[in-house]
Structure 1
Amino acid sequence: MDERDSYRERVTHRIPRGIVAEATARTMFTLTRHPPAPPLDEFVEYHWILRWDRRGRPPHEQRVLPNLSVHATFFPGASGVYGPAHDVFSHRLTGRVQGLGVRFRPGTFRAFLGGPVSDIADRAVPLTDVFGPAASAAAESVQNADGDAQMVGAIDNLLIANPRTLSPAARAAAAAVESIARDPGIIRVSQLCADTGLTTRSIQRLFAEHVGVPPKWAIRIYRLNDAAQRLVTEGDPDYAGLAVRLGYSDQSHFIRDFRTVTGQSPTQYARAAEPDSDRT
């Protein structure tokens, strides 16, 4: 298996994307995903490109469930480096816009940040704070690009211009997150420790430094994104059975966790996921 095959295999694992009400969202914008240039495979899961045109139509408020990735975004009025979050992200779509985001592989962004990723959890910092003055020119290139390839090329060049290497600790952190992504049976930190061979204390320090959130929260994010996907595909499932399949001890615990992360009950979330032609 070559490096590109390894990349393709990795990004097919459970990656929490969490676009709320995705069926409706597809009528509001177009989304494409693109692999990074080969030198960035260790750092970048993919580039995502959004385009929308709301001219003459009401603005749309798009919500996205929290995930573990750091995202660097190149959008007019919404450029920045966004750390891993505990809350639903919301963005108001107005006018005609195109932009690109970089989804970094959890555990790897410290190489660019130069400090603990927990420092940027639940907040955003300017692109130039992390990538220097060249980030402004790259953002302008994205806005003026004629197509996806030009947009991706501009950002790949920005990231490649200052080569980074992953430390052994960063590799261990990324591997720990991939253990969670690969195995839905990991529902407790003790199980993650057994899988990685690390102590609870060591894995907590590793996640604070390189992932930005505690390992318990990381596991919860994957479980609840799984739940959100099942609610979309199954509609109104047996919640008690769903809770058991996701490793919860009881239905009430699952519903409480789900509401904490999404701001909605499972029933409300499933109803919001139904297509609504009147929202255009």
Structure 2
Amino acid sequence: MRRIPRGIVDEHVARTKFTLARHAPAPALAEFVDYHWVLNWDLDGFHDQHVLPNVAVHVTFFPGACGVYGPGHTLFTHRLEGRAHGLGVRFRPGCFRPFLGAPVRLLADRSVPLEDVFGGGGAEAAESVRNASGDQEMIAAVDNLLIAKQSALAPAARTAAAAVETIAEDPEITRVDQLAARAGLSARALQRLFAEHVGCTPKWAIRIYRLNDAARSLADAGSPDFADLAARLGYSDQPHFTRDFRAVTGCSPGEFARSARRAVSAEPIEHKPIAHKPR
């Protein structure tokens, strides 16, 4: 089964703060884009949403967060306030270089304005998203922007994308040498390929998938067995797993699991899904 790290922290609480829908891109973009994700929120105050690091490039069209976001190594936090909507694009890892026109490693742990990648069309698409009356209107504006910018994937990009797909489809891949063997490359060649087209090291990509799996298991388990979870994720011992998990999330697996249980048991906060209205 193909895994996609989505990484929403305290998802049970998040569901009371905003609505999330995922949509397929235009057929012409299917090779480049995994999906569009649309958020709507209507809050009296604000909500700080934390998201685990990801290996994908995301292009976002939200109030206060229009930009191109590269693969990260730390927890990402975005504040939702008032009433708004927006759209994000999750690119297939390995498939953003044709849009960037430069090595994707330049986006690692940073973001750039839409205009740096898409020129004036980025601002126009953002305005269309802000004034959209529905999801399909937003999607059409963004699809048109991407189709105008796209070019063919190079063979190396296809190889990089296939290597990430191998990680996504096979949880038994826990080491770089395993992945290199499956890709038919040396470990060094695989590292160069990832720097150019994915924007992170293959070791980090493997770790992100493992830690997203861990977060999902910890959120779902009533009384998690941390040693067993570490072993199932391919860690040699529990302390190594705990160090990796804390480095990414800022808390231990136990603290993460307790927070998830508190979120499940909390009283739901009223949330009103909204239709898009021009702002």
TM interval, short-chain normalised: over 0.9
* SS of alignment partner, residue 159 of structure 1: helix
CA RMSD across the alignment? 1.1
User: Are residue 180 (structure 1) and residue 180 (structure 2) matched?
Assistant: no
Q: Are residues 1:144 and 2:131 paired? A: yes
Match of 2:51 in 1: 64
Name 1:108's counterpart in structure 2. Answer: 95
Is this contact kept in 1: 2:94–2:161, CA < 8 A? yes
CA-CA distance at 1:279 after TM superposition: 6.2
Q: What's the counterpart of residue 22 of structure 1?
A: 11
Equivalent runs, 1:209-228 vs 2, <5 Å = 209-228=196-215
Structure 1 match to 2:254: 267
Q: Does the aligned pair in 1 maintain the 2:103–2:199 contact within 8 Å?
A: yes
**Aligned with 1:37 (options 23, 26, 40):** 26
TM-fit CA distance, 1:232: 1.1
- For residue 277 of structure 1, report the CA deviation from its aligned partner: 2.3
Give the corresponding residue for 1:190. 177
TM-score, normalised by the number of residues in structure 1 = 0.93
C-alpha separation between the residues in 2 aligned to 1:107 and 1:83?
Answer: 11
Alpha-carbon distance between aligned partners in 2 of 1:252 and 1:241, rounded to the nearest angstrom: 12
Cα offset, 1:146, TM superposition: 0.7
Q: Is the 8 A contact 1:81 1:124 kept in 2?
A: yes
Give the Cα–Cα distance (whole angstroms) in 1 for the partners of residues 79 and 185 of structure 2.
Answer: 42
Match for residue 267 of structure 2 among 257, 265, 277:
277
Supply the AA of the counterpart residue of 2:245: F
Structure 1 gap ranges (5+): 1-11
Equivalent in 220, 227, 244 of residue 240 of structure 1: 227
Identity %: 65
| 2: CA distance, partners of 1:241 / 1:163 | 45
Distance in structure 1 (CA, Å) of the matches to 2:58 and 2:219: 25
Q: Which runs of 5+ in 2 are unaligned?
A: 271-279
Whether 2:150 is the aligned partner of 1:171: answer: no
Runs of 4+ in 1 over 4 A off after TM superposition: none
Match of 1:229 among 216, 241, 252: 216
Alpha-carbon shift at residue 162 of structure 1 (Å): 2.7
In structure 2, what is the equivalent of residue 202 of structure 1?
Answer: 189
